[in-house]
Structure 1
Amino acid sequence: MADVVIFGAGQLAEVAKAYLDRFGEDRVVGFTVDEAFLTQPEFKGLPVVAWERLEERFPPDAVKLLGPLSYQNLNEFRRNRHAEGRERGYGFARFIHPSTHNMAETVGDNCFILENCTLQPFVRLGEGIIMWSGSHVGHHSILEDFCFVSSQVGLASGVRIGTCSLIGGQVGVDNGITIGAGSYIESRCMIRRDVPPNSVVRHPSDLPKPYSSARIKSMKFR
């Protein structure tokens, strides 16, 4: 068992604590947020500490980190905080719900995988993967670091999802397809051809839009 500090003090952090409390092997001991967003000393009865001063309350040899769980800035926020945490000497926890069928070859640190997912043999998940409930990852598929996979996504065999991509709910991806890094695939799309990096694909089309996913980064997701 490890003591864990969750990055965030909002709804997603509340969800993460609920899952870890009920199904995890680790113990949540606190939360951290950027100092500019520190508005309360406690959340869910536990201390909230400024990220910039985390070592003062929770040194790296005492805790592991989890998150951020948001896909803010197309997952680059999670990527950046993960890298900074590593530089400051912190390790990262991971959570895989016990109902998930996990035959993956590798699952990286700072992954958060919810209930009733399927990870078939020879699947490889990088670091910082968030996978919501009921998603399927077919055999020999690769999810690169810091992807966010929403609920009820179906990835066929041999799929590759590039780093920091955001896959919306009920998306299907055909066998052997590659989705380039930094792409946004809107809910309910069916992807039957490769998608270049930094693409935006919106339902019902499977063709990238004529603009970059940089436009999506400025959107405010709740």
Structure 2
Amino acid sequence: MKRADRLYALMQRLKDGRLHTAEAMAQDLGVSIRTIYRDMETLAASGVPVEGARGSGYTARAMITLPPLNLTQTELEALHIGLAAVGAGDEAELADAARALSDKIDAVLPEDVGTPKARFGFATYPFAEAAQGFRHMPTFRKAIRARQKLRVKLDGEGMYHDIRPLHLDYWGRIWTCVVWDETAGDFATFRMDRISDLSPLPGLFVDEVGKRLKDFHALRE
């Protein structure tokens, strides 16, 4: 398993809000406990709100508040996308302005003792490549609203998936999409930055029991 994939798997586990020990995570992922310790440090440095310490376990808390504003998850996503996209652009003046705005946001974000300082708008390795997923998000959002089927191909896979896009999720600087994968006949969660090819299909879909977003959430409860 690539390190970026392992870190993503750890993020998915931590976001349930429960306490997870390094020993259990190491066993499930087939790595050493020391590797998990290093991964937790990397996640924290990348801005993922990891809490915990060696020997006691780890969890993650939601970070969606910018005093004195209360932001929704979608509003926070839009803010991050804008800063990251402009900051990575070729316009030097705009890129500098985006980084300055990022610094101002950093100055008012809540901080906990022992949490490493991390820039809000610009992720560090291994999540810097996540910006590649930005190009697909307008198509996904439009398809979710219109209930339009999509055909996607993921990096490293030779096959295409015909999917029903159900939900876009932003957490820990990674954008994912929840879909009903008609090719596999099951729910799936794809990382947006791993989609190498995407095209709309002519068919629309209607809600079917067992293939809806609420059915996906029910399976996770």
Give TM-score, length-normalised by structure 2.
Answer: 0.28
Higher normalized contact order (CA 8 Å, seq sep 6+, divided by chain length): 2
Higher-Rg structure is: 2
TM-score in terms of structure 1 length: 0.28
